[in-house]
Amino acid sequence: MRRTNEVLKMPSPKPVKAITASIPMRDFSRSLPMALLRAREAVMRHFRPSLRAHGLTEQQWRILRALSSHGEIEVTELAAVAYLLGPSLSRILRDLEARRLIKRRLVKSDLRRNIVAITASGVKLIEAVAPSSEAIYAEIARRFGARKLADLQAMLHLLEGSLLTMPIAGDPDDDLDV
Amino acid sequence: MRRTNEVLKMPSPKPVKAITASIPMRDFSRSLPMALLRAREAVMRHFRPSLRAHGLTEQQWRILRALSSHGEIEVTELAAVAYLLGPSLSRILRDLEARRLIKRRLVKSDLRRNIVAITASGVKLIEAVAPSSEAIYAEIARRFGARKLADLQAMLHLLEGSLLTMPIAGDPDDDLDV
DNA sequence: GCAATCCGATTAACATGTTAAATGGATTTC
DNA sequence: GAAATCCATTTAACATGTTAATCGGATTGC
């Protein structure tokens, strides 16, 4: 029933190949990425309808939120804060600018750089969405438990930190035999 | 510093509007969806290179894994197991079938239904990817701690369960005043 | 100073997420 | 038993994820 732990307790990674040949892989429906995906979706499906009602996607919302709390910010930094890849951000910024929710300007000292800011309309939109968004968040916290929620977030950050220094197998900047 | 908890401790959702007008929204970089997204990405970036080296995306891998552990399975059930939406699944199955990694057949008693199964080539591909995948998973468990990993997964499942019965604001099947 | 290189941002190309609509086959209903 | 409805799957349309390539503008090296 808890075959997962048997594998996880393995201290040495050497015999993995032999093991996977005899024992089926741990049921992927219990894999960590799947658990994270399912949990995130369980949360997000409560937020999406409200955002959608205001004509926003989740990513567009993230960008507006980031801009409203950071003021003017460069595109690269915005990508880090809103946790979006460059290409996605480029497309979304083009769209948000056309909708006059953000504005951009060049950096005179380095013409490659862009500085983005939210407009008054953008702020108004945020203020329109925020109440229902906060209410949903509060209800989620109430159901799951505020303490457990804090614990969960702490563990998630810890996990992120643990993997930050883990080398990525097969990457060119690693010197291994893959 | 921990303004988040101040908001979360709110028992009644009524004064939210007034609050959000005076206090800025909790920093979204600490929001639960963001924490889940970041944690998941921290994990997945270790798996993607290996999958990619074998010509698979994460979703294609999920489907093959599901098929290898479930044998023959209907498309709808496969969508639930692999946690994919119908349209995504349709496209991916078309692709995997063209690559002869899966095969499909109609259900004679109900021609709307499809039954999908993995092919020998599909199984071979899984066996080729599994070792490095398991090794990565083991290393992640080692770094984060097997116990904490189990605890985290338990909390994630609990969160999912907590939100399962929470009504979705603004949905037609709810009888509320939105 | 200019060729090579680096770097920020965008574009390209393809895969998936997301919602709505369509298609075609079963079920129900009267 | 034909019309209406339901249902499984696919298609459509648009937004984002992901990697590679491009494009201009800065830096470096010589």
- Is the Cβ pair B150, A4 closer than 8 Å? yes
pLDDT reported for residue A26: 60
Would the pLDDT of A21 be above 90? no
pLDDT band at residue A161 under the 50/70/90 scheme:
very high
Closest-CA distance, B165 to chain A, in angstroms, reads: 10
Mean pLDDT, chain A, rounded, equals: 84
Cβ-nearest to B170 among A27, A50, A133: A50
> Which residues on B lie below 8 Å from A169 (Cβ)?
46, 49-50, 132, 135-136
A28 vs A64 pLDDT, higher one: A64
Q: What b/e sequence results for A41-55 when a residue is b if at least 16 CB atoms lie within 10 Å of its CB, and e otherwise?
A: ebbbebbbebbeeee
- Is the Cβ pair B131, A17 closer than 8 Å? yes
Within 8 A by CB and 6+ apart from B29, the residues are A66, A81
- Is the Cβ pair A163, B42 closer than 8 Å? yes
Q: Å from A21 (CA) to D15 (C1')?
A: 41
**How much is the CA Rg of chain B, to the nearest whole Å?**
21
pLDDT band at residue A25 under the 50/70/90 scheme:
low
| DSSP secondary structure string for all residues of B121-135 | HHHHHHHHHHHHHHH
- Are residues B163 and A140 in contact, defined by beta-carbon separation less than 8 angstroms? yes
Element (H, E) at A148: helix A146-164
pLDDT reported for residue A117: 98
User: How many percent of chain B have pLDDT more than 70?
Assistant: 79
- Each residue's pLDDT tens digit, B42-86: 999 999 999 999 999 999 999 999 999 999 999 999 999 999 999
Count of C-beta atoms within a 10 Å radius of residue A87: 9
Cβ-nearest to A160 among B38, B46, B81: B38
Point out which residues pair with B116 in neighbouring strands: B73, B104
Cα separation of B143 and A165, whole Å? Answer: 10
Residue at A67: amino acid letter:
L
pLDDT reported for residue A10: 31
| DSSP secondary structure string for all residues of B49-84 | HHHHHTT--HHHHHHHHHHHHH-SEEHHHHHHHHT-
Q: Which nucleotide is nearest to B89 (CA to C1')?
A: C16
Residue B55 Rama label (left phi>0; alpha psi -120 to 50; beta): left
Cα separation of B146 and A10, whole Å? Answer: 9
In order of A15, A76, A95, A105, A108, the CA distances from A111 in angstroms are 54, 14, 21, 10, 6
pLDDT reported for residue A45: 94
- Are residues A116 and A107 in contact, defined by beta-carbon separation less than 8 angstroms? no
pLDDT reported for residue B30: 77
- Each residue's pLDDT tens digit, A59-106: 999 999 999 999 999 999 999 999 999 999 999 999 999 999 999 999
Would the pLDDT of A6 be above 50? no
Would the pLDDT of A4 be above 50? no
pLDDT reported for residue A95: 97
φ and ψ of B118, to 5 deg: -85, 150
pLDDT reported for residue A30: 78
- Are residues A17 and B147 in contact, defined by beta-carbon separation less than 8 angstroms? no
Q: Which of residues 106-125 of A touch B (CB under 8 A)?
A: none
Q: Measured from the CB, is A33 under 7 Å from any atom of strand C?
A: no
B136 touches A at CB < 8 Å: yes
- The CA dihedral of A137, A140, A142, A147, to the nearest 10 degrees, is -90
Task: Please state whether the predicted TM-score (pTM) of the whole model is above 0.75.
Answer: yes
Nucleotides of D under 7 A from a protein CB: 7-13, 15-20, 24-27
Which residue from A minimizes the CA distance to B138?
A: A8
Instruction: State the DSSP code for B88.
Output: H
Q: What b/e sequence results for A100-139 when a residue is b if at least 16 CB atoms lie within 10 Å of its CB, and e otherwise?
A: ebbeeeeeeeeeeebbbebbeebeebbeebbbbbbbbbbb
pLDDT reported for residue A168: 86
